[in-house]
Copies of this chain bind each other. A is one copy, B any other.
């Protein structure tokens, strides 16, 4: 009681006795979300070498979910359950890992709309769609004729297309050639993927381009709608020791692609249909929810010189990494990582330069525009190692600078530096909510760093990556938070919580479950032998499985546990695991059916159990499956709590 009577400064403030202007809020108070309140933004950070998308709440920095995308995820069975295995299929076989880079929210009229999130895979080229009702990956499309898909998944303002491009040029199509003959054989492709129809992602066309490395991209909006911009480096076309050999030229290029013109060329038949094989994996977010792989067999190639006007090169200093378009669509900013300035191109000047044929040359039929003719200005002495740019919607651009470990803030129309803030350390991408869209929400800035060193408690040689959160709503940026990240985020996107949280699905409706092995009531549970396959139609509900005693399985059988969670309450998943399975567990959401495949090797009686604590009697949620020797005369039997049902 004594404590309660003390009138402290804090309690005085809390009681409203002392008026504190919101300006006075400390960083601690600004990032703290009291119990009963929610974070203000969902932030989607790519996982980089973890292959996933990690969802955080801002401003708290709390991790909300890892959405498995390109890497198998033992935690919930993604890539292991029979329903999700096909998501990781490629023309190179089943691949349990990916390198996810650039998340991009779907847009309507240039504004993120919260329907989907796209993300690319850089190693074995792919793009994915995540459904933001379920926060699940529902679609993965492989990109053929690509040697690493980095400039991806940047979107057009109407979500019609997402981009992909060859990071590393390769022989196209692949063939056995000496590496030294790079200049002769190696090419790049810029790929446009039709993205606005869920379940129907497909390659609209690929543009065959010179054998450079294509790095990042962004698409135009407003006046520049119809265009997308890609950075390239290694225009030297080096194939070895690139850190020296690809850093020779003072300028490389931003490729400006007129995709409206490309559509015309396709319509006019000015393309080449090329045979190939690549995977399209789709998991319906409703119905049976079983992922399937469809093998695609060709793509349409546009050859720039056969489709004049489809593409121009904008010289840009030096080895440009990021390319970002201002919210009004008028300016294109290149992040020349070895440049001493930040070059800002003008879309209007570019169009005029094209009209006036202000060319400095051409490559493989692609005109190179004169730098002076397209350049709006160069931001002088901005920082060291400029990489990526985001916008706050108030006329300010924010560019991350790797070498000087800071973010430079400038008026991009006037090319005038306004401010800078430190990062800890060696910032790569940075993110402002809506910061690459037509209408940034602004408010927060999140630089994501490549080096952490002494920011957090050490954890052996392997440290987490770090980000800093800044409040940019005031006249000066305010440092708020050092947050840790999973994997290595390359870019992120954020959207106001109010847009997503209402549409977030709580359960899967059991009535709508059309999985062929769904078991919608305990009465319907059964065990069926089909030759050497044993299919167990099983239900899970607090706190038992039906059936929970199973006999008649033999060594040499393949057992499929098809487990339906027949709960219809929010946040009541059940897990499923069986001793000795060389796969993961299943984490089954209410109304969902997932399947675990098990090939028992020795006779015996093996336990299975619920792996996700579900009730006061969760520990009792277990069962046994008996495995008899090959050829044993033991019939299929099953039951829960009563006489076993014998299948004759």
For residue A269, CB closer than 8 A to chain B, the reply is no
Measured in the bound complex, the distance between the Cα atoms of B505 and A6 in whole Å is 47
Q: Contact: A604 with B461, CB < 8 Å?
A: no
Q: Contact: A80 with B97, CB < 8 Å?
A: yes
For residue A457, CB closer than 8 A to chain B, the reply is yes
Q: In the complex, what residue of chain B is closest to A479 when comparing beta carbons? A: B35
| CB-contacts of A428-487 with B (<8 A) | 428, 450-453, 455-464, 468, 474-476, 479, 482-484, 486-487
Q: Contact: A49 with B75, CB < 8 Å?
A: yes
Q: Contact: A49 with B575, CB < 8 Å?
A: yes
**Looking at the complex, which one of B28, B135, B174, B584 makes contact with A462 (CB distance below 8 Å)?**
B135
Given A49-B587, A580-B90, A505 contacting B460 (CB threshold 8 A):
yes
Q: Contact: B613 with A579, CB < 8 Å?
A: no
Q: Contact: B607 with A241, CB < 8 Å?
A: no
| CB-contacts of A44-69 with B (<8 A) | 47-51, 55, 57, 61-66
Measured in the bound complex, the distance between the Cα atoms of B614 and A563 in whole Å is 45
Given A57-B457, A97-B74, A587 contacting B462 (CB threshold 8 A):
yes
For residue A507, CB closer than 8 A to chain B, the reply is yes
Q: Contact: B96 with A582, CB < 8 Å?
A: yes
For residue A267, CB closer than 8 A to chain B, the reply is no
| CB-contacts of A88-129 with B (<8 A) | 90, 92-97, 99, 123-124
For residue A42, CB closer than 8 A to chain B, the reply is yes
Chain B residues, Cβ within 8 Å of A242: 544, 617, 620-622
A575 to chain B, nearest CB (A): 5
Q: Contact: B607 with A179, CB < 8 Å?
A: no
A549 to chain B, nearest CB (A): 5
Copies of this protein chain in the complex: 2
Chain B residues, Cβ within 8 Å of A222: none
A424 to chain B, nearest CB (A): 7
Chain B residues, Cβ within 8 Å of A609: 123, 148, 167-168
Chain B residues, Cβ within 8 Å of A508: 461
Q: Contact: A459 with B48, CB < 8 Å?
A: no
Measured in the bound complex, the distance between the Cα atoms of B372 and A217 in whole Å is 75
Measured in the bound complex, the distance between the Cα atoms of B505 and A463 in whole Å is 11
Chain B residues, Cβ within 8 Å of A92: 579-582, 601
| CB-contacts of A131-160 with B (<8 A) | 133-136, 147-148
Q: Contact: A74 with B72, CB < 8 Å?
A: yes
**Looking at the complex, which one of B10, B28, B500, B601 makes contact with A32 (CB distance below 8 Å)?**
B28
Interface centre among A51, A463, A475 (most CB of B within 10 A): A463
Given A63-B486, A74-B51, A549 contacting B240 (CB threshold 8 A):
yes
For residue A282, CB closer than 8 A to chain B, the reply is no
Given A39-B456, A243-B620, A461-B573, A175 contacting B24 (CB threshold 8 A):
no
Chain B residues, Cβ within 8 Å of A484: 62-64
For residue A76, CB closer than 8 A to chain B, the reply is yes
Measured in the bound complex, the distance between the Cα atoms of B84 and A495 in whole Å is 39
A422 to chain B, nearest CB (A): 9
A618 to chain B, nearest CB (A): 8
A6 to chain B, nearest CB (A): 7
A63 to chain B, nearest CB (A): 5
Chain B residues, Cβ within 8 Å of A13: 9
For residue A170, CB closer than 8 A to chain B, the reply is yes
Chain B residues, Cβ within 8 Å of A644: 180
| CB-contacts of A228-259 with B (<8 A) | 233-234, 239-247
Given A6-B23, A579-B123, A605-B174, A39 contacting B96 (CB threshold 8 A):
no
Q: Contact: A177 with B587, CB < 8 Å?
A: no
What 20 new A-B contacts, CB under 8 Å, besides A27-B34, A31-B32, A458-B506?
A: A3-B23, A9-B13, A38-B456, A42-B457, A49-B577, A57-B457, A63-B486, A64-B464, A92-B581, A96-B582, A123-B578, A123-B611, A168-B624, A171-B604, A174-B604, A176-B605, A176-B627, A242-B620, A451-B572, A461-B506
Pull 13 A–B residue pairs with CB atoms less than 8 Å apart, ordered by A. A2-B475, A10-B26, A27-B34, A49-B585, A49-B611, A71-B584, A90-B580, A134-B461, A174-B602, A176-B627, A243-B544, A385-B616, A428-B613
